[in-house]
Structure 1
Amino acid sequence: MAVELSIINKTKYRFPSAPFKRALLIGQKFLKLAEGELSLAVISQVEIKRINQLYRGQAEPATVLSFDYGEIVLCPSYIKKKFGVSGPALRDKMVVLFIHGLVHLGGWDHQNDARAKAMSAMEEKILKSYYA
């Protein structure tokens, strides 16, 4: 099964698409993702805060959001602020959070401690393969 990745970048941050495509290919080995298209939207803090409020009822920015219809949303400016990263480290953190969103799309969640532990283990499997 193939999942095609499209990236929509609405920010000033520039980054290569290859790491995200690689993460998706590896994620497909571990997750049961339906064939089709996955969108990665890269947006501002103002926009992600609005979306987080609208869909999750949380009046604050988020680093990553994922939606069942096949979209992952990242906010590099908030990721930079929250984790104190920039340059290649920012891109790497974006990939880690992209994988987190991908695992959510694979049906995993962190609604309780047991599920969070299982989700974290899945993320670690994907990351280990990604960095191998």
Structure 2
Amino acid sequence: MSIDIANESGVEVSLEDLVSVATFALGAMDVHPAAELSMVLVDSPTMADLHQQWMDLPGPTDVMSFPMDELEPGGRPDSAEPGPEMLGDIVLCPPFAAEQAQKAGHSLEHELALLTVHGVLHLLGFDHAEPDEEKEMFALQARLLEGWYERDRQHRRDAAVAARDERVLGSIGFLDDSGPDAGRSR
């Protein structure tokens, strides 16, 4: 995946986490690995302008998605060989998301991860205008977000085990390359 991300919001956030959750969601949705996505984080006045211009609604919102191509999981069904596609743009508003996170009782980081998954699903054609669509989209959104968190927990567990192994092996000289057994298999 190629994900370009820019933070123009004035709010410090982990861009690495947003790229990670977007990459995870796109992979789980079987989007071609060469697909391209653009993400921009903006301030409230900029989001309010976009919301008015594109949705004819006043005030800022949390996330907006601007799809470029009509995609289905696995690529375009009318294409002989699914290939790289420009998915579109996701615009996030961290100041607005911070207010939502506070009301919901969770962190801004969690809210932005959730909104990133939400934006990805919109780019892939999911919507929540009708009750059945909302149920499907929000259930998928929850599964994808939980899958990303589980992968992150597993990566942390693996890193902790690797660090422990390195400490233990280093403390008994197993990793020392300078001794008489250097170069010999143990």
Instruction: Give the TM-score normalised by the residue count of structure 1.
Output: 0.88
TM-aligned CA deviation for residue 24 of structure 1: 1.9
Q: In structure 2, what residue type is equivalent to 1:94?
A: L
**What SS is found at the alignment partner of 2:91?**
strand
2:113 maps to a residue whose letter is V
Q: Which has the higher contact order (CA 8 A, sep 6+)?
A: 1
What pairs up with 1:92-103 in 2 under 5 angstroms?
A: 92-103=110-121
Give the structure 2 partner of residue 19 of structure 1. 17
Instruction: Report runs of 4+ in structure 1 exceeding 6 Å deviation.
Output: none
Instruction: Find the aligned partners of 2:147 and 2:4 in 1 and give their Cα distance.
Output: 22
Alpha-carbon distance in 1 for matches of 2:55, 2:96 = 17
Q: Provide, for residues 13-68 of structure 1, a one-character-per-residue CA deviation record: whole Å limited to 9, x for no partner.
A: 12222211221222123325354321111001101011001001101210000110
Work out the CA distance in 2 between the residues paired with 1:101 and 1:29.
15
1:36 aligns with 35
Query: How many matched pairs?
Result: 128
Unaligned regions of 5+ residues in structure 1, if any? none
The one-letter amino acid of 1:14's match is: E
RMSD over aligned Cα atoms: 1.7
- Counterpart of 2:64, as a letter, is L
- Structure 2 spans left out of the alignment, 5+ residues: 69-87, 151-186
% identity of equivalent residues? 23
The answer to whether the 8 A contact 1:32-1:106 is kept is no
Q: Does residue 5 of the first structure (1) align with residue 3 of the second (2)?
A: yes
Q: State the secondary structure of the residue aligned to 1:95.
A: helix
Q: TM-score, normalised by structure 2?
A: 0.64
Alignment of 1:29-68 (within 5 A): 29-33=27-31, 35-68=34-67
1:123 is aligned to: 141
User: Residues 1-20 of structure 1, C-alpha deviation per residue, up to 9 Å, x if partnerless?
Assistant: xx211111112212222211
Identify which of 108, 130, 134 aligns with 1:112: 130
Distance in structure 1 (CA, Å) of the matches to 2:21 and 2:89? 15
Q: Which moved more, 1:17-26 or 1:108-117?
A: 17-26
Amino acid at match of 1:131: Y
